[in-house]
Amino acid sequence: MRTDPYTRVVLTVIAAALAVIAAFQIRSAVAPDAAAGPAKPGVQRVVVCDESGDFCARVDETSRLFVK
């Protein structure tokens, strides 16, 4: 059975794309992103401040958020 050139090119492009996707998956499984860090259970505390760090948002006793 003989395939036409168009079909051969399309199948080659699909195969190359699948190989690239597989390579990225293998790379991320072997060397995970170091910036993510280890996962820690519990609540993640976050502080929101201005650029200088002088004024930060706060939560009052009624759980309302205040931003200066």
Domain limits, the chain: 5-34+44-66
- Which residues, 6 or more positions from 55, have their beta carbon under 8 angstroms from its beta carbon? 49, 68
- Which residues, 6 or more positions from 66, have their beta carbon under 8 angstroms from its beta carbon? 57, 58, 59, 60
The pLDDT tens digits for 6-54 are: 999 999 999 999 999 999 888 877 776 655 666 677 887 888 888 888 8
What predicted TM-score, i.e. pTM, was given to this entire model? 0.44
Neighbours of 57 (CB within 10 A): 13
pLDDT of 45 reads 80
- Which residues, 6 or more positions from 50, have their beta carbon under 8 angstroms from its beta carbon? 56
